[in-house]
Amino acid sequence: LALRSVVPDCDNDAVVIRAVPNGPTCHDGTSTCFAPWLWRKIVQRKNEQPTDSYVAQLLQGGTPAIAQKVGEEATEVVVAALSESDERVVSEVADLWFHTLTLLASRNIDLTAVEAELRRRDR
């Protein structure tokens, strides 16, 4: 890590350390140990390829198959949002997020790239 700054918070009871990584910083090969648990789980399953893992099966199907699942799940979110209960919307969004994260993993795109793009758009 290349240290950029160490700054105390407003009442001096914590510090924020800013650093730029020179590569993966977590033992699982991701850019952070503080990634969301689902992202860490998907990366773990990608790396370990357990035979009973849905993630591993999806990844073996390749990016086109995963992209098709993302499209299906996106459609299901729209249908649920327009005509179903809040619980169904939550369920379908969960499916969409899961398959979208798996798509990123299949393309070797770290979740932090999406976060960086969203931060870039924050104006």
Q: Residues 57-84: pLDDT tens digits?
A: 999 999 999 999 999 999 999 999 999 9
> What pLDDT is attached to residue 106?
97
- The residues facing 7 across adjacent strands are 16
For tokens 């990844």, the residue is 59
Q: Which two tokens stand for residue 101?
A: 């994260």
**Residue 50's pLDDT is what?**
96
pLDDT value for 25: 79
How much is the pLDDT for 114?
94
Q: Which of 101, 36, 19, 103 is nearest to 67 (CA)?
A: 103
Residue with tokens 């939550």: 90
- For the chain, residues with pLDDT lower than 50 are none
pLDDT at position 95: 97
Q: Where are the alpha helices (DSSP H) in the chain?
A: 37-48, 54-61, 63-83, 86-106, 111-121
Q: What is the pLDDT of residue 69?
A: 97
